[in-house]
Amino acid sequence: MRRVFDSQLIGPFAAMLIVALIVALTTDRFLNPGNLSNLSLQVSIVALIAIGSSIVIFAAGIDLSAGSMVALLTMIFAQMLKFAGIPIFVALPAILLVGALLGFGLGIITAYGRIPSFITTLAALIAFRGLALTFNNGSPIFSLDPALETVFYGRLFGLPLPFFYLVFFYAMAAIVMNFSKLGREIYAVGGNPAAAVLTGINVKKVQAITFAIAGFMTAVGAILMSARLNSGSPNYGQTLELQAIAAAVVGGASLAGGRGNVLATLMGAMTIVIVQNGLNLNAAPSSVQNVVLGLIILLAVGIDMWRAEISRFLSRLRGGATKSAR
Amino acid sequence: MSANDSPLWEFVNISKAYPGVLANDKVCIRLMPGSIHGLLGENGCGKSTMIKTLSGVQQPDSGQILHKGQEVRIADPDDARRRGVATVFQEFSIVPTLSVGENIFLGNMPRNRLGLIDWKTVNDASARVLKKLDIELSPETITGTLSVGEQQLVEIAKAVAMDAEMVILDEPTAALGEHEIEQLHVLLRKMRAQGTSILYVSHRLDEVERIVDEVTILRSGKVVRESGETEINVSEIVAAMVGEDVSEHYPKENNSVDAVVFECQNLRTRSGVNGASFDLRKGEVLGLGGVLGSGRTEIAHAIFGVDKLTDGALLLNGKNIEIKNEMQAINAGFALVPENRKYDGLFFNFRASGNITAAALPRIARRGFLDLAAEAKGTERLMNELEISPQAEKKTVNFLSGGNQQKVVIARWLFSEANILIFDEPTQGIDIGAKIAVYKLMNALTRAGKSIILISSDHDELLAMSDRIAVVQHGHINRVVGAGELSHDDLVRASSHDDAGEARPATATARIQTNSNESLAAEAIQ
C-alpha cells in the first residue's frame, strides 16, 4: 500500500504492453503519431471517471451512476452556458461542485442510510438519466461556446491537453491514496469495515467522501464530454460507468474492497481503449467490440482468481524445461 | 473405552510437502474406535495438514492410509464422508439462515416421492439426533439466532446424524465458554461410549487433560510423541510441543498499585449490560470472569463506545468522561483487542505497519499526509519488541500465524500509547509459545503502569494472569475478589448458569489454589 509503484502495477502494465503489441502487429496504423494522440483523447474521459470509480471500489463500494451523471451534468452545463448566460469560467467550477455534491449525496444515503451502494447508485443511474431529459424538452443542446472546444482539443508543448489532465489527476489520486491519511482510511474501510470502526476510523464519513470524489471526477469527465462535442445531451455517457469499473477491475482492483492501485486503473483503461482502437483500425463492427470488452473483463478477473494455479502451471513448465535440458 | 484393539484408521509414514515446507514428515498415527485421541502441537506443526488428508481435502505425497486394516485412498471430502469420517472445522460450515434441522441434513436432505424435501422427516430425524445427544434445541430454530456454542453443538449433531464412525474436531472449543465446553465434553464422552473414534485438536491444554484418552504430539511436521508414549498431563505435553521445558506457563508479575485509574459506575446498555460497576487500578490486570453470554464482551463494548450507554458513568483518573464512539475511547487512552481478530481486528489487505498504525493515524499525520518514515520506524521498533516475524512487513498479514497476528493487533495499541487495554480472549486459537509471549507482554504493560481488563474463557489463564477478578453474570458484576482467593471450581460455579452458586461466598476453604502465580505445570505434578 505504501509504495506507489508496487508489484500490483506489473500485471496490468504487462497486459497493456501485450495488448498494444498484438494490435501493433495487426495494423501498422496503430503506432503512427496521429493515432497515438487520438488514443490519449479517447482514453481521457473514461480514465478520469475511473479514478473515482476505483476509489469507491477500494472502499468496498460500487458506483453505477457515473454514465447518467455525465448526461445530467452536460445538460446542466449546456443550460448554464447557452440559456442562462453564465460565463464559462464560472460554469466550469460550478459543474465540478454540482458533481461532487451529487456524489456526496449518494454517499450520505449509502453510508448513513445503510443502503448498499449498488442500489443507491443503480437508482441514481435511472433517475439521473431521467433528470437529464427534463432540460430543453429532452433535446440535446449544441454549439455552447467556441472557447469550450479548446478544453478538449487544445494543445500544450505539442501534446493534447487531456494528456495533462490525466497526468495531473492521476498524480493527485496516487498521492492521496498512498500518502494521505484519507487514502489509508479508504483502504482500511474497504479491507475490513468492522476493524476500521474499532480502530476509531469514521467509516461512514470515509465512505461518503469516496462518493464525493467519484462525483467530482465524473464532473471532470462530463466537462470533457461537453467540450469534445461542444454540446450537452441526455444520451451521453451510456455504459460509461461500466467501462470505468472495467478499467478498475482490469487494473486488478478487488470488488470486495481494500485492494487495488489507482495507477493500475489507468493501465486498465488504456488496455481497454487500445483493444477498442485495434478493433476500429481493423474495421471490426461495434458489436464485436462489446463482446471483446466482456471477454477482457472475464480474463482479467480470471487471471487474478487463478493466480495460484497459473504460478503452479508455470513452475511445472519451468521444471519440465530443466528436466528436458538435462 | 473399547477393548477392541484394532485401529479404525491408521496413518503409516504419511508425508506431505507444500512449496518450501515439509508439512508432514512420515507421520504415523492410529485412531482407535471408542477413543478420544488428542492431536497437539504449536501452530504450523502440521496438524491441519493431517486433518486435511484424513478428511479427503488433499492427497498425501507418500505413505499409506489404512481403514480397518485395508489400504484405501480418500479421493475427496465426499469419499471421506462415505467412509464415515466427519470433520468439524474451526470455521463453521453452518449456514446461518437455515434451520437447525436443515443444517443437520444439509447436502443429504430426505426427499418424498415427488422429489421434494420431506420436512416431517427432516424435523423428526433431527429432533431424534438432538435428543440422543441431549441438546435442547428445536430443529426449526434458525441457526443464526443461536449462540456460537449452540451452533457448535449443531455442527456436531450434523456429524452424528450421518453416522460418522470417525469425528474430527478442529479447535471445537475456541469460541465456547466453560459451560458449553462441559456440555460438549459430556456429548463427546457419550459418543465415545457408543464406539465413535474422535480426533480432538485443541490449544486448550487444561481441557485436553480432562477429555482425551491418548495424545499424539507433532512438531515441525514430525511426530515427537506417539500415542501411549506421553502421559496426559499438561507440563509434559507442553514440554513435548515446545521442545524444551517450560517452567513458567503463566509468568505472572504483580504490578498493581493502590491507585484507581478508571471506574465504571452502574453501566447499562441495550445490549445487555445491566448495572455494571467496578474500578481498575494502576498496573492491574482485572479479569472479567463469567460464561459466554454473561455480558463480559458487552461491558467491554460499553466502555469502548461501541454500544451506547443508557445509564451510568465512566471516571478516568477521578474525572467524569464521556465516550460516545470508538474514536473518543481511543483518544481517552483506551484500547480494545477484540475477541475475534479475524473479523474485528485485522486488515488483511495491509502489512504489519498498516495494521499497527491504524488506530493512531492522527499521530503520524501532518496536515492530512502520513509521515511514512515515522510509521516505518515505529512499526519496526514494535515488531522487534514483540518479536513479530519479519515476514509481517514483507507480505499482508493473512500469511501470518495466529500468534503473530495477535501480536500485530496488540502492537496497534502500543503504538496508540493506550493506558487502559481491554483484552478480549487474547490467546484464543494461538499456540502455547505465542500465549506465553502475550502473557509476558501483559507483564511489560502493567510494569509500565498501564492497566488491563482481561476477558477470558480459559479459567486457568484468567486465575493465573489477573490480580483481581470481577465475576460477571447477566451483565452485572456480582463481586470482585482477589484472584488468589478464587479457585477454578469457584469460578466455574460462580459464573455457571446455576444461580445457586451466586450466593456462595469465596472462602479460603475452597479447593486450594495457593496463589495465582502458581504455574500450571506445578499444579499438574501435585
CATH number of the domain within which A192 lies: 1.10.3470
* pTM metric for this prediction: 0.78
> Is residue A153 domain-resident?
yes
Q: Using one digit for the tens of pLDDT, what is the confidence trace for A41-79?
A: 889 999 999 999 999 999 999 999 999 999 999 999 999
The second-level CATH assignment, the architecture, of B9-242 is: 3-Layer(aba) Sandwich (3.40)
Please provide the distance, in angstroms rounded to a whole number, between the alpha carbons at the two ends of chain A: 42
Q: How far is A319 from chain B (nearest CA, A)?
A: 13
Look at residues B392, B412, B373, B391 and name the one whose alpha carbon lies nearest to residue A179. B373
- Nearest residue, CB atoms, B344 vs list A181, A184, A194: A194
User: Has residue A318 got a pLDDT over 80?
Assistant: no
Q: What is the C-alpha separation between B64 and B73, in angstroms, rounded?
A: 8
Asked whether the beta carbons of A151 and A224 are under 8 A apart, the reply is yes
Look-up: residue for cell 504430539? B217
Percent of residues, chain A, with pLDDT higher than 70:
94
> Is residue A2 domain-resident?
no
Asked whether the beta carbons of A117 and A56 are under 8 A apart, the reply is yes
Residues in chain B within 8 Å Cβ distance of A181:
361-362, 365, 368-370
Q: What is the C-alpha separation between B362 and A109, in angstroms, rounded?
A: 27
Please report the pLDDT score of residue B227 as a whole number: 61
Q: Which domain holds residue A297?
A: 7-325
> Is residue A206 domain-resident?
yes
Kindly list the distances between the CA atom of residue A162 and the CA atoms of A224, B96, B243, in Å, as whole numbers in the listed order: 8, 51, 65
Asked whether the beta carbons of B135 and B143 are under 8 A apart, the reply is no
Please report the pLDDT score of residue A58 as a whole number: 95
B94: cell is 453452518
Asked whether the beta carbons of B383 and B393 are under 8 A apart, the reply is yes
A105 or B478, which is more confident: A105
> Is residue A1 domain-resident?
no
Please report the pLDDT score of residue A51 as a whole number: 97
The second-level CATH assignment, the architecture, of B246-333+419-526 is: 3-Layer(aba) Sandwich (3.40)
Residues in chain B within 8 Å Cβ distance of A193:
none
Chain A, window 244-303: residues with a beta carbon less than 8 angstroms from a chain B beta carbon: 258-259
B200: cell is 480432538
Q: How confident is the model at residue A239 (pLDDT cuts 50, 70, 90)?
A: confident
The verdict on A196 touching B (C-beta cutoff 8 Å) is yes
List of residues 6+ apart from B523 with CB closer than 8 A: B513
> Is residue A143 domain-resident?
yes
pLDDT by position in tens, chain B (length 526): 444 578 888 888 888 887 667 788 888 888 889 889 988 877 667 888 888 888 888 888 888 888 888 888 888 888 888 888 888 876 667 888 888 888 888 877 777 788 888 888 888 888 888 887 777 788 888 888 887 777 888 888 888 787 788 889 888 776 676 777 887 888 888 888 888 899 998 877 777 888 888 888 888 788 887 766 556 677 777 777 766 655 567 888 888 888 899 999 999 998 888 889 899 999 999 999 877 678 888 999 999 999 988 998 999 998 999 999 999 999 999 999 998 888 889 999 899 899 999 998 988 888 899 999 998 999 999 998 888 888 888 888 888 888 888 899 999 999 999 999 999 989 887 877 888 889 999 999 999 999 999 998 777 888 889 999 998 888 888 888 888 887 776 776 665 544 433 333 333 333 333 333 333 333 333 3
Identify from B347, B357, B367 which residue to disrupt to test chain A contact, counting A C-beta atoms within 10 A and taking the largest count: B347
Q: Domain count of chain A?
A: 1
Chain B, window 397-436: residues with a beta carbon less than 8 angstroms from a chain A beta carbon: 412
Going from N- to C-terminal start, the domains of chain B cover 9-242, 246-333+419-526, 340-417
> Is residue A233 domain-resident?
yes
Q: Using one digit for the tens of pLDDT, what is the confidence trace for A264-277?
A: 999 999 999 998 88
User: Has residue A325 got a pLDDT over 50?
Assistant: no
> Is residue A33 domain-resident?
yes
Residues in chain B within 8 Å Cβ distance of A2:
353-354, 372, 375
